[in-house]
């Protein structure tokens, strides 16, 4: 019985609320012309914003890959695009390290070849520090040039 | 995702009620227009990817939050406004009453007599004044529940409170309005 009474009260309350809302609706339809116009302009501006948002989203979707490859872009991109954008930098570092290693190895090989040639020659290495031998070599070179 | 056409129709369907709702809260046409425009912008900027059926609920929430932001800004500007429920009435010369009366007279001459038109406009005015006099939360709950036709759960979600609070606010609002309008001799 109590429940029925509460329900009846609630429905009466809802009915009254809706009656009031109907009056408010009627009142809202009678807005002054300038207010209606300004609301229309506000709506048009919002729709203009909607178009801007659409264009921006389309552009960011189509350019997303390219931007990621160049390493730039917005912070709102995900983790993977950001990791992908690091690939060119890593490749550059790896290339520089490889060039450095190859260069060092070449120099070491050249020095080793030179040392090996000097050590395996019939002439002892001490001969190159002997002034008489240096004079002999110079005279020999001059003679070869004259011939 | 809502298309431009759907968004346009939705905004058109809610803009007048949103404006009036804001006016009831802030009691200033210019501020109410700004609030409605800001709310529309926020909706399309952040939620245009949502399906059309979610837009009414989202818009109500945005409108409420934008109105609250307006009050917060006012509060920092003017220390007199310390509580949303403590506003004093601005007086008898409400800013839209005269225009509404004139406008309503123009519109109703085709179907109503001048006397009933004036009477009707007077009722509108009295109802709106009483709604403005309600405490902010009661007014918010009443307008969402009965004017925007949100159900209790949706109203609670939009207001960020429990369903029980919504029922209480609505019940008190209806009782207060009923009592005040009866006292003025207005029977709906």
pLDDT by residue (tens digit) across B139-164?
A: 999 999 998 888 899 889 888 899 99
Query: In chain B, which residues have their Cβ closer than 8 Å to the Cβ of A54?
Result: 48
State yes or no: pLDDT of A99 exceeds 70.
yes
Q: What's the CA gap between B69 and B84, in Å, rounded?
A: 12
State yes or no: pLDDT of A95 exceeds 90.
yes
Supply the mean pLDDT for chain B. 80
User: What digits encode the pLDDT tens for the residues B2-22?
Assistant: 788 888 999 999 999 999 989
**Phi, psi (deg, nearest 5) at residue B89:** -65, 145
Of B8, B100, B174, which is closest to A47 when you measure between CB atoms?
A: B8
CB contact under 8 A, A47 and B11: yes
Question: Residue A63's pLDDT is what?
Answer: 61
The minimum CA-CA distance between A82 and chain B, rounded to whole Å, is 24
Q: Is the ipTM of this complex over 0.90?
A: no
- The pair of structure tokens assigned to B145 is 């529940």
Res. B94 pLDDT band, cuts 50 70 90: very low
Q: What's the CA gap between A121 and A101, in Å, rounded?
A: 30
State yes or no: pLDDT of B103 exceeds 80.
no
Count CB neighbours of A3 within 10 A.
Answer: 7
pTM beyond 0.90: the answer is: no
Q: What's the CA gap between B100 and A78, in Å, rounded?
A: 53
Alpha-carbon separation of residue B98 from A21, A106, B105, B118, B143 (angstroms) = 21, 96, 11, 11, 23
- The pair of structure tokens assigned to B139 is 């007014």
Of A145 and A73, the one with more pLDDT: A145
CB pairs under 8 A between A and B: 113
Question: Residue B49's pLDDT is what?
Answer: 85
Query: In chain B, which residues have their Cβ closer than 8 Å to the Cβ of A11?
Result: none
Asked if A90 reaches chain B (Cβ–Cβ under 8 Å), the answer is: no
State yes or no: pLDDT of B96 exceeds 60.
no
Radius of gyration of chain B (CA): 18
Q: What's the CA gap between A120 and B2, in Å, rounded?
A: 87
């Amino acid at each position: 019985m109590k429940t029925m009474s509460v329900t009846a009260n609630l429905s009466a309350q809802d009915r009254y609320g809706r009656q009031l809302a109907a009056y408010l609706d009627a009142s809202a339809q009678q807005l002054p012309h300038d207010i209606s116009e300004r609301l229309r302009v506000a709506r048009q501006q919002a729709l203009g914003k909607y178009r801007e948002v659409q264009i921006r989203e389309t552009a960011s979707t189509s350019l997303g890959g390219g931007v990621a490859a160049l390493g730039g872009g917005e912070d709102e991109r995900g983790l993977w695009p950001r990791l992908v954008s690091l690939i060119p930098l890593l490749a550059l570092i790896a290339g520089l390290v490889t060039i450095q290693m190859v260069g060092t190895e070449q120099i070491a090989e050249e020095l080793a070849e030179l040392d090996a040639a000097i050590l395996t020659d019939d002439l002892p290495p001490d001969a190159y520090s002997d002034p008489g031998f240096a004079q002999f070599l110079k005279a020999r070179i001059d003679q070869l040039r004259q011939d | 995702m809502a298309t431009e056409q759907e968004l346009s129709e939705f905004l058109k369907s809610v803009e007048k009620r949103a404006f009036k709702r804001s006016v009831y809260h802030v009691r200033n046409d210019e501020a109410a227009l700004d609030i409605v425009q800001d709310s529309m912008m926020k909706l399309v900027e952040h939620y245009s990817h949502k399906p059309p059926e979610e837009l009414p609920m989202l818009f109500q929430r945005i409108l409420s939050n934008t109105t609250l932001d307006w009050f917060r800004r006012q509060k920092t500007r003017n220390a007199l406004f310390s509580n949303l429920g403590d506003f004093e009435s601005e007086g008898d010369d409400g800013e839209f009453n005269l225009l509404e009366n004139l406008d309503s007279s123009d519109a109703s001459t085709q179907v109503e007599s001048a006397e009933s038109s004036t009477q009707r406009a007077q009722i509108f005015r009295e109802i709106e004044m009483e709604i403005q006099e309600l405490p902010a939360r009661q007014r918010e709950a009443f307008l969402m529940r009965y004017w925007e036709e949100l159900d209790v759960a949706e109203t609670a979600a939009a207001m960020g409170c429990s369903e029980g609070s919504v029922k209480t606010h609505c019940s008190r609002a209806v009782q207060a309005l009923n009592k005040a309008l009866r006292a003025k001799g207005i029977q709906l």
